[in-house]
Amino acid sequence: MRSKFAAQLFTLRDELEKDYFGTLRKVREMGWQAVQISGLFGNNPADIAKVLQETGLLTAGIHVGLAELKNQLDEVVKRADLFGTKDIVVPYFPADQQHEQGYRQLRSDLNNIARMLESKGYRISYHNHAFEFNTMIDGESALEYILEPVPGNRVFAEIDVYWVKRGGRDPLSFIQPYANRMPIIHLKDMSDDGKQSTVEVGTGQIDFIPILRWGEQNGIEWYAVEQDQCQRDPLDCLATSLENLNAMVEKL
């Protein structure tokens, strides 16, 4: 299971902007098996791919904005191929489209793209925040509508457990419908001081052991660790999260 832990590189955005390749090497030296890529910071994808190959880092999906996915699909697919992944994830939905019709269009757009790519093995997923819980569609939250686990819906889930809890739901209960429909899950902890800050996995109020156990039984291929805001060196934060996750594996 330890080989399924991936560092979401948004955590290291400041470090990547200064030294992308050196930061990748530090992540590998720390013990991470994979990364999830969320930005290139002006670097050539081919150069990034070379460093991934050099270090042995695998790619647990790429985050791609909706506009880029719709307008530059060929380039996105080429990038996924370079990085050795079939998982393309939309990480955010623009604020001015966060209404019923906007979400209906999003589900339609993602399904259209998924249909074009599925014969080649690519998977399109959606990564949530908490705002999707603010809109109801057909009696359920917009997030549940987008990810509805029915045969005609080709959109996979990339549930972020922190944002589910921030939205007032229990993470373990919420992920149940997405068995074998969620190749990647986002692990992010919430502080227990009332501020709801993002903290290192295993240092906050989310119980990850039942989530990990469920994931191993229900098709999770990657556990991507992300920390939006760090109170110390982000590399040290990721090191703590990895250490705590490895300790949790011993308890499964």
Cβ–Cβ under 8 Å, residues 222 and 4: yes
Three-class DSSP category at 112: helix
How many domains is the chain built from?
Answer: 1
pLDDT, tens only, 109-141 = 999 999 999 999 999 999 999 999 999 999 999
**Percent share of the chain, pLDDT over 70:** 100
Return the CATH number at 126: 3.20.20.150
What is the extent of the structural domain holding 184?
A: 2-249
Radius of gyration of the chain (CA): 17
Give dist(CA 160, CA 92) in Å, integer: 12
Tell me the per-residue pLDDT of 192-233, one tens digit each, with 9 for 90 and over. 999 999 999 999 999 999 999 999 999 999 999 999 999 999
Q: What is the pTM of this model?
A: 0.97
Instruction: Give the pLDDT score at 28.
Output: 98
Q: pLDDT for 25-81, tens place per residue?
A: 999 999 999 999 999 999 999 999 999 999 999 999 999 999 999 999 999 999 999
Answer for the pair 149, 113: CB distance below 8 angstroms, yes or no: no
Give the other-Cβ count within 10 Å of 199's Cβ.
25
**What are the tokens at 233?**
């060196």
Cβ atoms of 156 and 181 within 8 Å: the answer is yes
What whole-number distance in Å separates Cα of residue 153 and Cα of residue 206? 29
The answer to whether 222 touches 61, Cβ cutoff 8 Å, is: yes
DSSP per-residue letters across 115-174 = HHHGGGT-EEEEE--SGGGG-EETTEEHHHHHT--STT--PEEE-BHHHHHHTT--HHHH
Residue 202 in contact with residue 190, Cβ under 8 Å? no
